[in-house]
Structure 1
Amino acid sequence: MENTKGISRARFLAGAAAVGLAGAVLPAGQAGATGGGRGLRHRGVVYTVGAGETPGTAWSAARMRRDIRVIRDELHADTVDVTGDGVDRLTATAAEAAERGLHVWLQPTLGDVPEREILDSIAECGRFAERLRRQGASVDFSVGCEFWLFVPGIVPGETVLDRVENLQKGTVDEARMQRRLARFTAKAAAVGRDVFHGRLSYAAAQDEEFEPVDWNLFDVVGIDYYSYHRQQADYIRELRRYQRWGKPLAITEFGTCAYVGAPETAGMGWNIVDYTKEPNEIKGDPVRSERTQAAYLIDLVEVFESMGLYAAMAFEFVTPDAPHRPDNPRYDLDLASYAITKPIKDRPDDPASDWHWEPKEAFHALARRYRRCAQSQ
């Protein structure tokens, strides 16, 4: 059953910027212990299946099928993290990825709707993932992403924007929030276990003090990871703490934007857009640098390989609602996008315009690294 009430991560980021979310809510974390590794088992990319912000960026099955083929044949990924809202979109994309022989990481992300609807979405997607698994597909199922943000009732506020604003104001009872979060996470895990009998996971924020997760509920530890360090050894020390559970570790998101200094923002690279203006525009004068984005991604992939992690999925393949405007840098919203491709409209000022994407340097760099990883396995 199709559900279009969810909120995309891109829409959250826009809202967070609008209310002035500070880095304290999505911090980089502290360092832990060291260790070695054996190569990256699953190398992939996040593919979001939201409904689209405008008629021109609405989800398209034909476009999705072309993208999945590119992910396999040109990016040389072996995994697709299928996420977003809309059970029909999620399942159609997961089925296409499985048909193409890719490992599927299926993760519904539904927000700003009643708890029951979110649990129902988890159940529907989990049943579909189980059918794929029984048919011989390689599938992991994640019950969701950062519930504190998306699920009403954990943090006070009817919408994501309300919840972000309350967090930013410091008016949230953190102990109560974490009790509510633990209860819902346990419910979601139980629903997932009931319908899916493969590897179960969840995508948590990397600040364990803010979002503590009982990983005994899951088979794979999943972390959305946006740290910045100058030395690879510091990433390794930081990531080691997530391995203390003795379970496989998956990096469910990692990435940065394509401008000078973006990696140093530790996950806040999107905050260079003034969303209060229409049309939205870039603040200041950031210097576009696709090489900066590519170098950061490869640095992290090398770290993940050295640690022998279970999976890593770059965020993300394409962000249709952040078009590249080489003719007008003030409106080059792709600067604030984490995608490894850049959307280009046929008619830049027309919201209904058709569009295509072109690969960024990050796409080519990942493709080379993923091909090398595949050849070494």
Structure 2
Amino acid sequence: MRRKGVLYDAGRVLWVNWRPVFDPAVVRRELRIIRDDLHCTAVKICGRDLDRLTFAAEEALALGLEVWFSPELWDRGPAATLSHIAAAAEVAERLRRGRPEQVVFSVATEATLFMRGIIPGRTFQRRLANLRPELRAGRHVAPLREFLAHAARDARRVFGGPITYAALPFEPVDWDLFDIVGVDHYREARNEAGYVDRLRPLLARGKPVVVTEFGMRTYEGADRDGNLGTGITDPATSLLHLVPLVGRLVRPRIKGRHVRDEALQARRIVEDLTILDAAGVDGAFVCTFVEPLSTHDPDPRYDLDMGALSLVKTYARGHGTTYPDLPWEPKQAFHAVAGCYGRTPPGREGHCAV
């Protein structure tokens, strides 16, 4: 794989900001670790706020990383989303002019679910509940294609570099609109047998194919219980925790009983990298580097990091030992990815073992 990447969340927003504190010094430090210790060559910077995206992108570009500039205005309609894309494309073009070969612009992520107006439902949960009947009826096809045609057109008006879209595997995207085929492709028990088969039609198009998200959560059975997409954090306790005054009495917790399993996460990500490299993809982005809200706790009831896709575990208080200036510690998956990206012979990235 040419693009050895990780997703970096600068502040995705769905219900709440997934990165409530954006500390420039921490962002600068984490991006350097992504280059030097995780051995990435590319970083997909996601989030809503364009100032945050710009700062993180500038820092990553200065480090020599390829930047996938990925604005995400989730839970809004097509008009607002297209306006956001156009504004972001102007920012990305300014960045690209300084580093012509280092910037890719991603117009959106999984619009069928994260944008209003394709699947009925004002909230993500309602759209998710309506997904299967809408897919069977095919009613999502026309609005998705109309949106992506407008998004690609608006981006190209101002951005002179390659553009892409982070698609769900079932979305009927017209890839003639884009320079790079991008798909969020997670492997679990339900799709394991046909995981590579879904990539073959995309690879046959003759354009670079990049898996824009893949990964695994950090508990026993995460690869087979059907919760890989939505996780195991209890949303009710998480939302109540954010309510003033009441929130002090409610502690976010996970649903059910689970056993922490960092080895599973590490092993599955390495397997994914090996499979994707053998399939011939141009690159892949592990999801995700850090999830600040998914804090680790010794008590499994409150160990939100078990439900996290992140390569590092965040502490609610204190700092790690590997990087004493940062509030997190690398998980086994961090070291496994670093081994895949940094120690394998040229041309054999992904062929590695934990």
TM-score bin, normalised by smaller chain:
0.7 to 0.9
Contact residue 314 and residue 327 of structure 2 kept, 8 A = yes
Alignment-derived partner of residue 6 in structure 1: none
Displacement of 1:266 in angstroms is 5.9
Unaligned runs of 5+ in 2: 238-249, 320-324, 349-354
SS for the counterpart of 1:282 is coil
What letter matches 1:345 in structure 2? Answer: A
Match of 2:161 among 174, 182, 198: 198
Alignment-derived partner of residue 50 in structure 2: 87
Alignment-derived partner of residue 294 in structure 1: 266
**Partner Cα separation in structure 2 for residue 236 and residue 206 of structure 1:** 11
Displacement of 1:161 in angstroms is 3.0
**Correspondences of 1:70-109 after superposition (within 5 Å):** 70-109=33-72
**Correspondences of 1:269-280 after superposition (within 5 Å):** 270-277=230-237, 278-280=250-252
**Correspondences of 1:22-101 after superposition (within 5 Å):** 40-50=1-11, 53=16, 57-101=20-64
1:335 correspondence with 2:295: no
- Inter-CA distance 373–120: structure 2 relative to 1 (3 Å threshold): farther
1:120 correspondence with 2:83: yes
Alignment-derived partner of residue 16 in structure 1: none
Displacement of 1:233 in angstroms is 8.7
**Partner Cα separation in structure 1 for residue 68 and residue 115 of structure 2:** 21
Displacement of 1:57 in angstroms is 3.8
**Partner Cα separation in structure 2 for residue 176 and residue 308 of structure 1:** 32
Alignment-derived partner of residue 372 in structure 1: 343
Unaligned runs of 5+ in 1: 1-39, 349-353
**Partner Cα separation in structure 1 for residue 134 and residue 189 of structure 2:** 31
SS for the counterpart of 2:274 is helix
**Partner Cα separation in structure 1 for residue 201 and residue 72 of structure 2:** 26
SS for the counterpart of 2:4 is strand
Displacement of 1:302 in angstroms is 1.3
- Inter-CA distance 173–263: structure 2 relative to 1 (3 Å threshold): closer
**Partner Cα separation in structure 2 for residue 304 and residue 311 of structure 1:** 8
Contact residue 315 and residue 328 of structure 2 kept, 8 A = yes
Residues 43-81 of structure 1, C-alpha deviations (whole Å, 9 max, x = no match):
010001117848994222221111101101111101100
Alignment-derived partner of residue 11 in structure 1: none
Contact residue 10 and residue 19 of structure 2 kept, 8 A = no
Alignment-derived partner of residue 333 in structure 2: 362
- Inter-CA distance 331–166: structure 2 relative to 1 (3 Å threshold): same
**Partner Cα separation in structure 1 for residue 330 and residue 228 of structure 2:** 23
Contact residue 129 and residue 141 of structure 1 kept, 8 A = yes
SS for the counterpart of 2:163 is strand
Provide the TM-score with structure 1 as the length reference.
0.80
Counting aligned pairs with the same residue, the percent is 40
Alignment-derived partner of residue 245 in structure 2: none
Question: What CA RMSD, in Å, does the superposition of the two structures yield over aligned residues?
Answer: 2.7
What letter matches 2:125 in structure 1? Answer: L
**Partner Cα separation in structure 2 for residue 236 and residue 366 of structure 1:** 20
**Partner Cα separation in structure 1 for residue 339 and residue 136 of structure 2:** 47
Alignment-derived partner of residue 202 in structure 2: 242
Provide the TM-score with structure 2 as the length reference.
0.85
SS for the counterpart of 1:47 is strand
**Partner Cα separation in structure 1 for residue 345 and residue 106 of structure 2:** 24
Displacement of 1:274 in angstroms is 2.4
Residues 218-250 of structure 1, C-alpha deviations (whole Å, 9 max, x = no match):
111101011236999964344223212221100
What letter matches 2:117 in structure 1? Answer: G
What letter matches 1:182 in structure 2? Answer: R
- Considering Cα pairs closer than 8 Å and 6+ residues apart, tell me whether 1 or 2 has the greater RCO: 1
**Partner Cα separation in structure 2 for residue 204 and residue 96 of structure 1:** 27
What letter matches 1:240 in structure 2? Answer: R
**Correspondences of 1:10-21 after superposition (within 5 Å):** none
